[in-house]
Structure 1
């Protein structure tokens, strides 16, 4: 029997977000996987395969989950939110060929332009009206704040200690989401390959102050699982989870450094240090 192909990181992230939202709300709403299965007209095993990331989410399951949890589909899948929106609007929407550029931009702004400033709205409409008059319409979809740029980043209750270390949870529970613009993050100097590699965690302790204060939310890149240069990392060592500055010493040794004198530097072995993520940003706008 051939092994089932693993989901792509994007599809797996959708499943993880859906599961976290379900877990966080099921008790208050009196939901179980069995009741979710009944509502979706599928088996409980199929529900488990969606939530555990074995099978990708689809529009039908996403719609049922959204209705039962009372949250928009885009909270866990912008891909399916767009698909569902297209399915529900195609019947009543006029043919694109009958719409002017201004009409199309106006529809776009009505559906997705709530985050735009009045100036940005006026510029888009002016460009569209110029196109209708025979000019050229040019929209740069990669500018900060333009429609479709924002993404949800999961915030996990993983108390990585900035001190003596803390035993990590086996199953971190998502507490809240943070909505950000990847383009804006890059303009701030945050470097990352894909936004779905980004997570939010909370630092715990005082040893990294003033760089990171107690309970500061931190933006981390979970795709970085090895030492890639001096910096601040989230890592496990001797069974405890830390957020500390790491410096390579050579000969398979790493210096573990606090940002104040509460904890003296320690030399630890690279083969006993398991990096979980690299810290990219303290959520008080301090780059690290």
Structure 2
């Protein structure tokens, strides 16, 4: 089972508050228990790639404290915080599913279910898109994602941590996060597309 985040730590967020009007909630989050139960949390890691990415801001319905449908939940299990898909099984156990196929599901057995606390259900993702602007801080590299697909990427307005690069991806025209250990080769920002595409065929 992938490691969660200690539940006694505050789960850090990109934003502390966002104001949304009732009409927007009705149109986009019509299934939530109450607008007053709407909260936000930041996704971490790559285990849910395909549904959301590292650094994405997620809308949580904190009025949901039990599993009535198979969905993505915020849960406390053994004093660690997870954001994972939960699926009920006929024998009463549950699967904790990682949407990234490289991780195997974890079975929550009946005897372990009393250690599970449902803190809310994920009801939406705040996808922030922006108009690209060129900056001096540009990274160009060949990248292999979790599914093994290899592509050339150009990213500007870059911010970095020890393990991740985040910035505006030219190919996606959106904010994206990339794991450094999946970068196969990087290039100078002024390297021609022809040279990069020629390199790409060797992978």
Determine if the TM-score, normalized by the shorter chain, exceeds 0.5: yes
Measure how far apart 1:172 and its partner are: 5.9
Question: Structure 1 residue 271: deviation in Å?
Answer: 2.4
Specify every segment of 5 or more residues in structure 2 that has no aligned partner in the other structure, as ranges.
129-203
Residues 230 and 245 of structure 1 are in contact (CA less than 8 Å); yes or no, is this contact kept in structure 2?
yes
**What's the TM-score, normalizing by structure 1?**
0.40
Could you report, residue by residue, the CA deviation over 1:148-205 in whole angstroms, capped at 9, with x for unpaired residues?
Answer: xxxxxxxxxxxxxx94211023556775210112321221254113211010111111
Aligned equivalent of 1:176: 16
Aligned to 1:166: 5
Give the Cα separation in 2 of the matches to 1:263 and 1:283.
25
Spell out, residue by residue over 1:70-108, the C-alpha distance to the aligned partner (whole angstroms, 9 max, x if none): xxxxxxxxxxxxxxxxxxxxxxxxxxxxxxxxxxxxxxx
Between Structure 1 and Structure 2, which shows a larger proportion of strand residues?
Answer: 2
Partner SS state of residue 36, structure 2: helix
Q: Distance in 2 between matches of 1:173 and 1:265?
A: 25
1:259 partnered with 2:102: no
Q: Which has the higher contact order (CA 8 A, sep 6+)?
A: 2
Do structure 1's residue 284 and structure 2's residue 127 form an aligned pair? yes
Q: CA deviation at 1:223?
A: 1.0
Match of 2:53 in 1: 213
- Unpaired runs of 5+ residues, structure 1, are 1-161
How many residues are paired up? 124
Aligned-residue Cα RMSD (Å) equals: 2.3
Asked if 1 retains the 8 angstrom alpha-carbon contact of 2:56 and 2:127, the reply is yes
Bigger radius of gyration among the two = 1
Of residues 235-244 and 186-195 in structure 1, the stretch that sits farther from structure 2 once superposed is 186-195
Structure with a larger share of its residues in helix: 1
State how far apart, in whole Å, the 2-side matches of 1:248 and 1:200 are.
Answer: 25
Match of 2:68 in 1: 228
